[in-house]
Amino acid sequence: MKPMTLTLRVLAHLLSYPDAELREHLAEMRDALRTERALSSGRLAELDVLLDRLGSPRTLDTEANYVELFDRGRGTALHLFEHVHGDSRDRGPAMIDLIKTYEEAGLYLGEGELPDHLTVVLEYASTQPPAQAAAFLREIAHILQVIFSALLKRQSPYASAVAALLDLAGEKAQAVKLPDEPELDETWEEPPAFGGCSTQGQAAPNQPQPIQIMKRLSVQAANATPLPGARE
């Protein structure tokens, strides 16, 4: 299996808030993606569109778009447990389990970081051997499909970054049927109980630790739609 450490770290950065520091390293990220060659040339071309957008001199628009997209949308939320537990009481224990998994791998969260944010999850995945990283991504692939579909619906070039993660998982990025998003001031209903993120299926200490995020949900696939800005 091809190495994917650099690619995972670049994708984590591309899905982070596009501040000045991130924009300073866009050229390095582009080079890293091409050096590791974990993604197809077509996917790299799609990511070029996102990299170009992030490098736009209209920095305030770029930052505002990120906030509008990821901080104010339910379907595009990058906190994975929002898609699993919503605001239910199950979210806290799942967070604790995830933190323990990171710490067993020698990783510790920075101040203000939440363990279920996709960028943090990808940093963890980047520390695992390729086979374990791909297996971990498959555990969250159903959530990634939802985020991908929501981004695709908004014609956002960020969809290419999530599609790239699905590629690394060995899954096909495809649009799935999305539930209607509630208004921001509505309270989410508590979702069904899931297997949770626990020690279920984890390896022995000092071994790569797969994370059991949740059971797969059956989703209704829609017709595949080209990514925004994708080149034929």
Instruction: Give the pLDDT band of residue 12 (cuts 50, 70, 90).
Output: very high
User: C-alpha angle with apex 77: 7 to 50, nearest 5 degrees?
Assistant: 40
Mean pLDDT score, 20-43: 97
User: Residues 132-145: pLDDT tens digits?
Assistant: 999 999 999 999 99
The answer to whether position 192 is within a domain reads no
Comparing CA positions, the residue from 25, 26, 30 lying closest to residue 7 is: 30
Residue 179 lies in a domain: no
Residue 42 has pLDDT above 90, yes or no: yes
Number of domains in the chain: 1
Residue 99 inside a domain? The answer is yes
- Spatial distance between the Cα atoms of 73 and 179, rounded to a whole number of angstroms: 13
Domain for residue 49, yes or no?
A: yes
- Within a domain: residue 223? no
51 inside domain = yes
- The rounded percent of the chain whose pLDDT value lies above 70 is 73
In angstroms, the first-to-last Cα distance of the chain is 27
The mean per-residue pLDDT over the stretch 47-60 comes to 96
Q: Over the stretch 54-112, which tens digit does the pLDDT of each residue have?
A: 999 999 999 999 999 998 877 899 998 887 755 656 666 778 888 898 888 888 888 87
Q: In which domain, by residue range, is 94 found? A: 5-168
